[in-house]
Amino acid sequence: MSWELIPDGGTPGGPRRRFPWGVPLAVGIVTVVIGLSLLIWPFFAASRILALLIGVAFIGNGIAAIVGSRARGLATPAAILFIVLGVIAIAFPELTVSVLVGFVAATMLFVGVVWLAIAIRMRAAMHWAFVALPAVLVALGLVAFVWPSLALVIAAFVAGLVTTLVGGSLIWAAVALRRRSA
């Protein structure tokens, strides 16, 4: 038995294998539904989806640490903490999202201020972009701190638009594969 990453067209003179066009079609439909939910209900969908993703990541890391840890020490208590944090993240999505938005806002402020300080120190070689980009980053960080729900809605709307376009392209590709194989 041989495993292939990219299936060939079959053996010469033999039957030609067709790509399963239903897989990208199903993934595309699910992706479009998620994208549209982010566009229609940006705050609700974003908070639920983000909390679920963060919670599952915490739980998965906790389980992996328990299963894969040979030296027990602090690995097991840390793994249990990850699992508990994952359950809390899924159970309280609004809290999870507010903590995440606060963390992202603080990170944007920190990176923007440090970048701006470096740009100011390089006065001789300063280009307007070295000041404008960190200033925008600081402004976005401040907006995210002052209006976290607005920051989440904007991020969810942009993510929904991109996700819907990606899902649509998957559906288009699946239909093109179906036509080609027919």
pLDDT in the model for residue 70: 61
Q: Which residues, including other chains, have CB under 8 Å from residue 60's CB and lie 6 or more apart?
A: 86
pLDDT at 4 (0 to 100): 47
- Contact assessment for residue 23 and residue 173, using Cβ atoms and an 8 Å cutoff: no
H helices present in the chain, as ranges = 22-40, 42-68, 75-91, 93-121, 128-146, 148-181
| pLDDT < 70 stretches in the chain | 1-19, 68-74, 124-126, 182
Give the pLDDT score at 81: 92
Residues in contact with 144: Cβ distance below 8 Å, sequence separation at least 6, in sequence order: 101, 104, 105, 108, 151
Question: Which H or E run contains 174?
Answer: helix 148-181
Decide: 37 and 160 in contact? Cβ < 8 Å. Answer: yes
Token pair recorded at residue 72: 């027990």
pLDDT value for 1:
44
Question: What's the pLDDT at 87?
Answer: 95
Q: Amino acid letter at 123?
A: R
- Note the pLDDT of residue 118: 84
**DSSP tag of 16:** P
pTM of the model: 0.56
**Residues 6 or more apart in contact with residue 27 via CB below 8 angstroms:** 167, 170
